[in-house]
Chains A and B, each alone.
Chain A
Amino acid sequence: MEKIQEFSRIKFRIKDAVYEGIVMPRTLYEDEDHFTVKLNNGYNIGVEKGKIEILEIEPPKVSSEQPYEKGFESTGPKILILGTGGTISSKVDYRTGAVKPAFTASQIVDMVPELKNLASISVKTIMNELSENMQPSNWTLMAREVYNAFKDGYEGVVIAHGTDTMHYSASALSFAIENPSGPVVFVGSQRSSDRPSSDAATNLLGAAIFAAKSHSPGVYVAMHASMDDDIIAIHKGVKVRKNHTSRRDAFKSINAKPFAHVDVKNLQIKFSEKKTEVEEPMNIYEKFSERAALLRFYPGISEKLLSSIFNKELFDAITIEGTGLGHVSRKAFPYIKDYINKGGFVGMTSQCIWGSVRLTVYETGRDLLSMGVIPLEDMLSEVALVKSMWVIGNGLDLKATMPKNLRGEISERREAL
C-alpha cells in the first residue's frame, strides 16, 4: 500500500460517495495498517488501508500559520514566570488537532487577560520535563534561576510545573533558598490547558497575583481550593501534598491551613496565616545529594529489602514512613540499630499523612528513640526526604539540622479545625 505523506489532502471513495479529507499522523500507540483521515466536517476516522479507493492526493502545504504573537502590554509589579515543562498554557491547532505549548508572555496574557493590569510579566522556559522525570539536578537549576531572578529585581517568581512532583520541587526550593526576596509560587493544572474547563488559567492568575502583590516572601504552591473556580489556595511549599489523582483541589495543606487564598474573581488575597517579612541576606544552597532514601514501612516487609536500604555505603540518611505515631515492626530493629551505629541518620515520619509522630508514647517508639532514631514531628515524609537530600548535599549536619524547623516544615501546633 502506498505511503501517503502526513497532512496530504486526499479525495477518496467509500461505496458510492466521494469524501475529502486530510491524512493525519498516526500516534506511537496506533498501528501502521490504518489511515487516520480528518474529514471536512472536522471528525477523524480510522480506515484500513486498502479499504478505501483513493482518487486524488494533494501534497501537504507548508503551513504559513504564524504562532500567535500579538503585541501586548502588561503593567504592574515585575514577575517572572518560569516554565519547566508542564503545559500550563497551550493552543489547539484545529487544522491538525495538535495541542501545542503556548508559553510566551503574549500567549499567556492571551489566556489570562486579567494579567494585563496586574503585573508586568516576563516568561522563560528553563527546562522541559514531565514532573515525574524531575531529578535533584532540576531542582538545583530551578533554585539558581529563582535566586538570579530576585537578584535581577523581580518582585516575585511563578514556576509552572507538572503536578505529580510539584510538592517535592517546592520543598527543594524552600530549603535551597534562604530568605528569598519575594514569593516563589509553584503552579500547575490538573485538567490540561487546551480545554475550556482547564484550571490552568485561574491557577496561574492566583499564583501571579500572589507573587506580585502579597509581599510575603517564601515558597508556595497555588492550586484550586475546591471544585469551584473562584478561589485559588496558596499553600506553604513545605506543608503541602498532592492528595488526589485527578481533582482540581488535589493539593491540600497538611497539618496546617492553607497560607492564603486568592479570590480570582475579585482579584483579592486573603491571608489565613501571618504574612512573612523580607529578611536579609538571601543565600542559595543549591546542592542535593542522592544518598538519601525514603522507606514506607508495612507488615511483612522483607528483611532483604531492609538490609539493602539500611546500608551506610549507599545512604547517609533514611527517612522512614512509619505506621501510626511512627512505628515499625521489631523485625526492623537490628537493621536500624546497625545502620545508626555505623553513622547513618534515621528520621521518623508517619504514613498516616496527618498528625505528628510521637515516639514517647508506646514501647516501640521508645525503643526506636533509644536506638537513635530522630522523630521529625509532623514533617511530611516527602519533605523530610528532600530535606535530607539537601542537608547531605550542602554538607550540613543531619542530626542537628533535620529536627530543626528551618522553613516552617514543622508546625508547633495543630489546630482542631
Chain B
Amino acid sequence: MKVGFEIHIQVNSRRKLFCNCNPKDDDSSQLEFRRRLRVSTSELGEIDPAAAFEIKKGLNIVYVSGDKTSCLVEADEEPPHEPDPYSVEAAIKVSNMLNSFIVDEIHFMRKIVVDGSNTSGFQRTAIIGLNGSYAFRGKNVRIQTICLEEDAARLLEKGEGYVKYELKRLGIPLLEITTEPLEISPEEAKALAESLGRTLKLTGLFARGLGTIRQDVNVSVEGGGIVEVKGVQKLEQIQKVIEFEEKRQKMLLEVAAKLKERGISEESFADLKPIEVSDVFKNHSNILSVKRFFKDYAFALKAPGLKGLFSYETVPDSRLGLDLADICRLFGFKGIIHSDEISKYDFGQDILKELENKLEISENDGFVLVFGDKEKAVLCLQMVKERLKMALKGPVAETRYATEKGTTRYLRPRPGASRMYPETDIPTIRITQEMKDKYMVEIKSWEKAVEEFSSRHLINKEMAEQILDSEFTDFFENAVENYKNVPPTLLASLIVQVFIPYQNSGKVIEYDEFLKLLDAFSKGNIAKEAVIDVARYMLEKGVNLESALKEMNIEKLSLEELRKIIKEKIDEALQENVEPSKLYGTVMGRVMSLVRGKIEGKIVNEEVKKALENINKA
C-alpha cells in the first residue's frame, strides 16, 4: 500500500494573494450576488458527468461578499493584483527548507474549477519548488511539489440546483506541499503528517486557527489506482482513513477477481444500456412499495456478474452499493435500489421476475433500479454503468471524502490531467539567485519548542505540546498577554480540557464570550474552580456567558454567606457526633459541595480551619 499527502496551509500574510483585503478584518456590511458558471457543451464531456450535469442544469451560485474581507477581485469584477510578496517569500523559504529545486520564474496557472468555489471558474496556482525532501524517522521523504495558490470560497449552503459561498476565505494564500506516495503503515503516515505539520507551524510563516491547515490523503494498493481522500482535517482521522481505504481497496480487488471468475469482461458491458421499466411498476400500482417509490418513471440497468457484490464488504460502510447510492445523489435522487437488497422493499415476486426478464438477468447478474424522470435517470445510470465497469479493474483512481467516523465516501471521478492554462493577467515573476539565497528558514526542533513554551509559561510539557499542536496557540498567547492575572495554568486547562475536546466535534468556538469569561475571572467575579465548568457549560449548551452564569447559578459567595454555611455544617456535624479527627474532613466536604465554584477553595479551607479553631478555643 502506498500513501501520499497534499498538505494545504494558509500563509499568515496581512493580505490575500491577489488583492489587498485582510481576511481578519471585521465586515460592517455584506452583499449577495448571483452567478452561473459556463463551460462549452463540447468541453462538458471532459469534466466529470455529475459536474457536467450540474452545469447543464444551470447550477445557480450565490456569493456572499463582506465589505472588508473581499473586494472586486474576489467578485471577479477586477483583474488580480500582483501576488503578495510575503507569500512568495514564504514559498521560497519553505522550498529551501525542504531542499527543493526552486524555479527561476513563477508562472501562475488557471486550474479550472466549476463547482462555484472560485468566482472566476478557476483557481490560480503556481509551482515554486520541485523535488524536495523531508527527513522523517531516518528516511528522506520526497516532496514532489511546493505550490503557491489561492484558497477557495467557503461553502455555506447547498440545495437543489443551488449553492451558496462566502468570499472571505477566497484568495487567502495557501502553500500546497505534496509528498510522493510512500510505502508506510497508517501509523507512520499519521506521524509523518504530524511531523510535517509541526515543522511548518514552527516556521512562524503560517496562520493558526481552525481550518488553516487541511490535508488530502492519497491511498493506493498494488494493482489499483490512486484514490484521493479530501478533507481529512484531524490527524486522528488520518490513520483511520488509511486503514479503511486499504481494506476497502483490497476488497475491490477481491470483487474484480470474482467478476473475472464469473467470466465478466469489458465486453459484457459493451451493449449495456439503461432500460425503461415504468410499465413493470404501472402494472402493479396497488403494491405498497410501488406506491411509495414509483411516480411516473422507472429505469433499470443490468449489472453483469454483480450478484452479491453490491452488498459485499470486508469492513463496514465500504460496499459498492454505497458508492452507487452516492453517485445517484449527485443527480438529485434519494438513492438507488440494487438487486442484493431489493427483497427488503417487498415489491413481490411478480415484479422481480418481470424485471429479471426485461433485463435478461442470468445466474450471476444483478441490476440497479432508479425512480425518476428520464433525463436524470439515464445520465445517472450511465455513470453507474461506468462505475460498475471499473469494478473489473479493482480500485480505480477517484476522489472521495473522509467522514467523521474515519470511513470514506465517493465524491467524484478523479479528473484527468487538470485543465490548466496560463494566468495571463499576471506577468511571470523572476526568482533570482539572490532571492533564493536570502529567503531561508530553518527546521526548528519540536521538542525544543515544546520545552521553551512550557518553561516560558510555566505549564507542564504535556499541556504545552497539546496547545502547540492545537488551533489555540494564538488564543493562549493573546490571553496570557492581555489577562495577566489569569494564571497560565488555568488558561492551559481551559484549552486542554475544554477547547480541544470540543473542537474535535467540529463546531466553531466564539472567542469573544470566552474572553468575557476570563475578564470576569480577572475581576474576581468567578472562582477559579468555576472557570472550567462554566466554559464547558457554555459550549455544551451553546449559550453565552451571561446565560451560563444564570443557569448554573454561579454567583460569587460573600465571606459572610460562607461563614454562615460553615457554621451550619459544623453544627450539623456536631449534632451527628462526628469524631473530632474526622470533623475537618466532613465539614470541608459538605461545605465544598455547596459552595464549589462560588468561592476560592483556598478561602473555604482557611475559613473552615478558623471556625473549627474558634470552636476548640471555646
Contacts and interface: CB of A to CB of B under 8 A. Distances in A.
Given A43-B126, A226-B33, A228-B33, A68 B77 contact: no
Given A40-B417, A43-B127, A94-B420, A201 B77 contact: no
Interface stretch (A137-145, A191-199, A281-289): A191-199
Residue with the highest number of chain B CB atoms closer than 10 Å, among A41, A245, A247: A41
Contacts of B111: 42
A51 to B, nearest CB: 7
B420 A70 contact: no
Contacts of A195: 110, 120-122
Nearest to A231: B34
Contact of B41 (A41, A110, A196, A230): A110
Contacts of B109: 42-44
B460 interface: no
A47 B103 contact: yes
Given A43-B127, A92-B421, A197 B104 contact: no
B419 interface: yes
A107 B42 CA distance: 9
Contacts of A51: 104
Given A42-B417, A46-B104, A111 B38 contact: yes
B119 interface: yes
A14 B130 contact: yes
Contacts, number: 126
B162 to A, nearest CB: 12
Nearest to B76: A197
Interface in A8-23: 14-17, 19
Contact of B120 (A45, A196, A265): A196
A15 B101 CA distance: 8
Contact of B106 (A46, A99, A230): A46
Contacts of A197: 35, 37, 76, 119-121
Interface string B111-127: 11010000111100111
Nearest to A113: B41
Contact of A46 (B36, B72, B107, B120): B107
A42 B34 contact: no
Contacts of A2: none
Main secondary structure, interface of A, reads loop
Contacts of A198: 38, 121
Contacts of B209: none
Interface residue range, chain B: 35 or more
A194 B43 CA distance: 12
B278 interface: no
Contacts of B110: 195
B418 interface: yes
A97 interface: yes
B131 A17 contact: yes
B35 A47 contact: no
Residue with the highest number of chain B CB atoms closer than 10 Å, among A44, A51, A113: A44
Interface in B429-466: none
B112 A68 contact: no
Contacts of B552: none
Interface in A85-120: 91-92, 94, 97-99, 102, 107, 110-111, 113
Contacts of A226: 33
A127 interface: no
A228 B422 contact: no
A97 B111 CA distance: 11
A164 to B, nearest CB: 14
Interface in B127-148: 127, 130-131, 142, 145, 147
Interface in B90-116: 101, 103-107, 109-112, 114
A99 B42 contact: no
B122 A229 contact: no
Interface in A39-95: 39-48, 51, 68, 70, 91-92, 94
Contacts of B422: 44, 97
Interface stretch (A28-36, A214-222, A316-324): A28-36
A229 B105 contact: no
Contacts of B37: 196-197
A113 to B, nearest CB: 5
A266 B104 CA distance: 50
Contacts of A265: 58
A248 interface: yes
A227 interface: yes
Contacts of B40: 91, 102, 107, 110-111
Contacts of B351: none
A51 B130 CA distance: 14
A191 B34 contact: no
Contacts of A15: 101, 131
B436 to A, nearest CB: 11
A34 B103 CA distance: 10
A135 interface: no
A70 B42 contact: yes
Contacts of A41: 145, 417-418
Contacts of B142: 17
Contact of B420 (A42, A110, A202, A247): A42
Contacts of B75: 227
B156 interface: no
B211 interface: no
B231 interface: no
Nearest to A246: B78
B487 interface: no
Nearest to B108: A44
Nearest to B100: A15
B121 A29 contact: no
A129 B243 CA distance: 60
Contact of B428 (A16, A30, A68, A248): A30
A40 B416 CA distance: 11
B391 to A, nearest CB: 28
Contacts of A46: 103-107, 428
Residue with the highest number of chain A CB atoms closer than 10 Å, among B40, B147, B428: B40
B542 interface: no
B103 A45 contact: yes
B315 interface: no
Interface string B287-323: 0000000000000000000000000000000000000
B79 interface: yes
A261 to B, nearest CB: 15
Given A17-B131, A191-B120, A229-B34, A99 B105 contact: no
B427 interface: yes
A15 B112 CA distance: 31
A91 B41 CA distance: 12
Nearest to B62: A228
Nearest to B119: A197
Nearest to A190: B77
A94 B119 contact: no
B112 A14 contact: no
Contacts of A40: 417
A49 B179 CA distance: 27
Interface in B510-538: none
B39 interface: yes
A227 B421 contact: no
B101 A229 contact: no
Nearest to B75: A227
B33 A196 contact: no
14 contacts: A30-B428, A36-B107, A42-B420, A43-B147, A45-B130, A46-B104, A47-B105, A68-B42, A107-B40, A197-B120, A202-B36, A227-B77, A246-B77, A247-B78
Given A36-B105, A97-B420, A110-B42, 6 more contacts: A19-B130, A39-B127, A43-B147, A47-B104, A196-B39, A228-B34
Interface of A: 14-17, 19, 29-30, 34, 36, 39-48, 51, 68, 70, 91-92, 94, 97-99, 102, 107, 110-111, 113, 190-191, 194-198, 201-202, 226-230, 245-248, 265
Interface of B: 33-42, 58, 72, 75-79, 101, 103-107, 109-112, 114, 119-122, 125-127, 130-131, 142, 145, 147, 417-422, 424, 427-428
